Structure 1
Amino acid sequence: MKTPGPAGRGLRLVPFRGLRYVPERVGSLAAVTSPPYDVVVRPDGLQHLESADPHNIVRLILPQADTATARHKQAAATLNRWLAEGVLAHDSEPTLYVYEQRNEEILQRGVIGALELSSPTDGIVLPHEDVMTHVVEDRADLMRTTAAHLEPLLLTYRGDGTASGATAVVERTVDRPSLLATTTEDGFHHRLWAVTDPTDRSTIEADLAHHQALIADGHHRWATYLRLQQEHSAPGPWDFGLVLLVDTARYPLRVRAIHRLLHRLPVTAALAALTGLFRVRDVDGPLPRALDALAEATTEGNAFLLAGDGGFHLVDRPDSALLRSAIPADRPASWQRLDATVLHAALVDRVWHIPDTPEHIAYIHDAAAAVEQAERHDATAVLMHPVREEVVRGLARQGVTMPRKSTSFGPKPASGLVLRSLAPDD
């Protein structure tokens, strides 16, 4: 389905000189990759990645130091050192890249390039979640200091479901020898190709010019791109952002929930506050079985799974009076019914009175990790059921954003396979 923005124009994806690891200078390509910065479960995950290889990309996307300024300066110094040592090197010419991720269940293919930035009012790139100001500020300072885009955003668009246009180029390209191939410890096989043929590039560019994109993963980085563009009055590299574009009519993404960890709320207190406002039932574990119970409950309405005390507690059937008083009535009905809306507007704000700050709430992609941390720290894990992609896209087209961290689209591109330098000479 071709759906350009209201201004009558669509996506503009241009080639760039990718910055990539030199295989001979690292232990393995798999050992230098990382999940996106906000998916790394700290501290264990961070330490694991740092120990995998001294050049792991996590040292750039999540540098460690006592202050934010020191962290970002350290990342810039590390990047410059790796360039000087030949650990990272630019490709010889600007190119678009075809990227494939595959495991036994999923095949995802798309095109990596530099996407021309557009105003939210243009309707070309559609966000569907709010962002946290402090995260945007942190990512902006990191990008500004390193003068680089260190990991691509994941954007989706809807083709016509056939191997035509950009998708046809993608499927021709994967029959050729790849630039790199590696398998990461999560079992995903990754391959990257360069699209250098001018006709293929033109086909991609012409096709994408008729489409709009949904931000599947990377809202904070997209907001960061726009903020940094505003700081530069003259046209230049800051007018473009590093993205992976996937045609989900051809390669559907997996949509998962993002769970909440309420640091300072024990499960006993969380449950006690729900009396008379929600139905609460204990459900049997282990975790997969409890999540199945959650999935079944969500077919009838809003439902959540609380954990952290060694058990699982299914919370559903919210009080209608609570919902009427807590949820804004000036939003579409599909937004009002979202689990994330009910969780934050009714539970977090009205019932539990928890500020939405990092000191009080963490957002965790992995359900098992959320439960483990809650049990370790006498906290409450609120496990969510995922939202359907068509609901997300429908709200985004109406210009309505969901509560932040409402969804997790995947598989997410591995960080470390291709970077984009913003330095003047690159």
Structure 2
Amino acid sequence: MAKVLPFQALRPATDYAKDVAALPYDVYSREEAKEAVKGKPLSFLNIDRPETQFEDGHDMYGDDVYKKADEMIQSFKEKGIFIKDEQKHYYIYELTMNGRAQNGIVALSSIDDYINGVCKKHENTVAEKEVDRINHVDVTSAQTGPIFLAYRQKQEISDLVEKVKKEPPLYDFVAEDGVKHTVWIVDDCYNETLIKAFENVEATYIADGHHRTASAVKVGLKRREEHPDYTGEEEFNYFLSVLFPDNELYIMDYNRFVKDLNGLSEKEFFGGLLNVFNVSSSEFGAPERKGIVKMYYAHQWYTLTMKEECLEDRNDPVTSLDVAYLQDLVLTPILGIEDPRVDKRISFIGGIRGLKELERLVDEKEGSVAFAMYPTSIDELLAVADAKMLMPPKSTWFEPKLRSGLFIHEIER
């Protein structure tokens, strides 16, 4: 049973919400982040990526960088840009993109649920990326990026969400990318109702934010060591999350770009592909269904259809994934990508960037290749997590992205 609690959010004053709200820290490279904050002193990206406040070449993981993030949070509080609610609340966070809305509940999730497997994961994390967020949370004593969680839809929760949405919103704005963000404060008279409703949710699932979750949990465990008399009710025992019902979520394709053919000739490369795919020339366009991959190589698109004989033994929740088929039968044995989490020869391109981005990357680097994937489904994600298995890295790209800075969870120092 999931433990999901209300909290006192540190959040922007209403007039500042639109200017503060920022895309997650990890969708930007260092150069992109530096460019994105130009002329935007209130953007939360300044805090989430504090190296943007230093000269190029400065150690982006230096102690002074994380201290700068803490200083900016305190400054925003002193200036009234951030305010803290006096009571513990849940919040409804609706994101609308291209006319389609999804409604999440902003709340705290228990680090013990993560440790005990009630909050389920489907990906491994990379230690280097964890360390960055561990330091950010530890130095600021604040969880600044909400973790995107999913749960199997419960009608009583959905009914309450619709009831709350009839009230005037706290925030209501359209971001630069056209995504509409609307937030309501849930009256604290509903707190017990929602606490009990989530106790009937058997599991929550990390949809996006595995590194943020692992980092928040590790800081919580560190705080427990520093406070051996802890009761379990302290703020560091919980992490900031937004929980969405599975029936409202939308997963886009997550595509692959490989910088070279692993020393193979074109003939050798295609020979390898023909062992596991039926290959035909194709027009520009995304895969039409599961079991099909589109490939772009040397200014030409190809349709790769998975061979039935190669699918016969691939029937568990992981091996049946299109991304696993490509990884196991092409990326590793043919292109030499043993660990895609750390291999510098492969890049992952979110579907929001479009197939033209794949064409651009391949056209700019001779001998490279890109694969356009059919999106992993939410049911596939839940099945993998329920089986306590792990997907290949970068199997899912969720849109729209939660904005950082709208909710901050402060923990004890």
Distance 1:158-1:59 versus aligned 2 partners, 3 A rule: same
After TM superposition, list the pairs within 5 Å mapping 1:118-267 onto structure 2: 118-120=112-114, 122-160=116-154, 162=155, 164=156, 166-198=157-189, 200-211=190-201, 212-233=203-224, 234=227, 235=230, 236-249=234-247, 252-265=248-261
Identity %: 22
Does the 8 Å contact 2:125/2:210 carry over to 1?
yes
Distance 1:372-1:122 versus aligned 2 partners, 3 A rule: same
Matched with 2:395 is 406
Matched with 2:294 is 305
Deviation at 1:238, TM superposition (A): 1.8
User: 2 CA distance for matches of 1:121 and 1:144?
Assistant: 19
Does the 8 Å contact 2:13/2:82 carry over to 1?
yes
After TM superposition, list the pairs within 5 Å mapping 1:248-397 onto structure 2: 248-249=246-247, 252-265=248-261, 272-275=268-271, 276-277=274-275, 278-285=277-284, 290-291=285-286, 294-296=287-289, 298=290, 301=291, 303-307=292-296, 309-317=298-306, 333-355=316-338, 356=340, 357=342, 359-365=344-350, 366-367=353-354, 368-378=356-366, 379-397=368-386
Please give the TM-score of this superposition, normalised by the length of structure 2: 0.84
Does the 8 Å contact 2:317/2:383 carry over to 1?
no
Distance 1:50-1:274 versus aligned 2 partners, 3 A rule: same
Deviation at 1:267, TM superposition (A): 11
User: 2 CA distance for matches of 1:210 and 1:90?
Assistant: 30
Matched with 1:66 is 59
Deviation at 1:272, TM superposition (A): 4.4
Candidates 55, 69, 74, aligned match of 2:42: 55
Distance 1:370-1:142 versus aligned 2 partners, 3 A rule: farther
User: 2 CA distance for matches of 1:17 and 1:147?
Assistant: 15
In structure 1, the residue corresponding to 2:123 is in which secondary structure?
coil
Distance 1:409-1:94 versus aligned 2 partners, 3 A rule: same
Corresponding letter in the other structure for 2:198? L
In structure 2, the residue corresponding to 1:333 is in which secondary structure?
coil
CA deviation digits over 1:161-188, x for unaligned, max 9?
A: x3x2x32221111111221111112222
Does the 8 Å contact 2:89/2:188 carry over to 1?
no
CA deviation digits over 1:193-226, x for unaligned, max 9?
A: 212332x111111000111111111112122222
Does the 8 Å contact 1:308/1:372 carry over to 2?
no
CA deviation digits over 1:238-277, x for unaligned, max 9?
A: 210000011234xx21111222232455999677423143
Distance 1:270-1:55 versus aligned 2 partners, 3 A rule: farther
In structure 1, the residue corresponding to 2:223 is in which secondary structure?
coil
User: 2 CA distance for matches of 1:39 and 1:265?
Assistant: 27
The aligned length equals 389
Does the 8 Å contact 2:337/2:343 carry over to 1?
no
Distance 1:267-1:176 versus aligned 2 partners, 3 A rule: farther
Range that drifts further, 360-369 or 202-211: 360-369
- For the aligned residue pairs, the C-alpha RMSD in angstroms reads 2.8
Corresponding letter in the other structure for 2:82? L
CA deviation digits over 1:259-307, x for unaligned, max 9?
A: 223245599967742314344333222xxxx21xx224x3xx3x33233
Unpaired segments ≥5 residues, structure 2: 52-57
Distance 1:50-1:268 versus aligned 2 partners, 3 A rule: farther
Corresponding letter in the other structure for 1:317? M
Deviation at 1:149, TM superposition (A): 1.0
Please give the TM-score of this superposition, normalised by the length of structure 1: 0.82
CA deviation digits over 1:22-45, x for unaligned, max 9?
A: 345x5xx3333222223346644x
Distance 1:77-1:121 versus aligned 2 partners, 3 A rule: closer
Unpaired segments ≥5 residues, structure 1: 1-9
In structure 2, the residue corresponding to 1:345 is in which secondary structure?
helix
After TM superposition, list the pairs within 5 Å mapping 1:10-21 onto structure 2: 10-21=1-12
Does the 8 Å contact 1:169/1:203 carry over to 2?
no
Distance 1:314-1:403 versus aligned 2 partners, 3 A rule: same
Distance 1:349-1:243 versus aligned 2 partners, 3 A rule: same
User: 1 CA distance for matches of 2:365 and 2:133?
Assistant: 28
Corresponding letter in the other structure for 1:343? L
User: 2 CA distance for matches of 1:387 and 1:246?
Assistant: 17
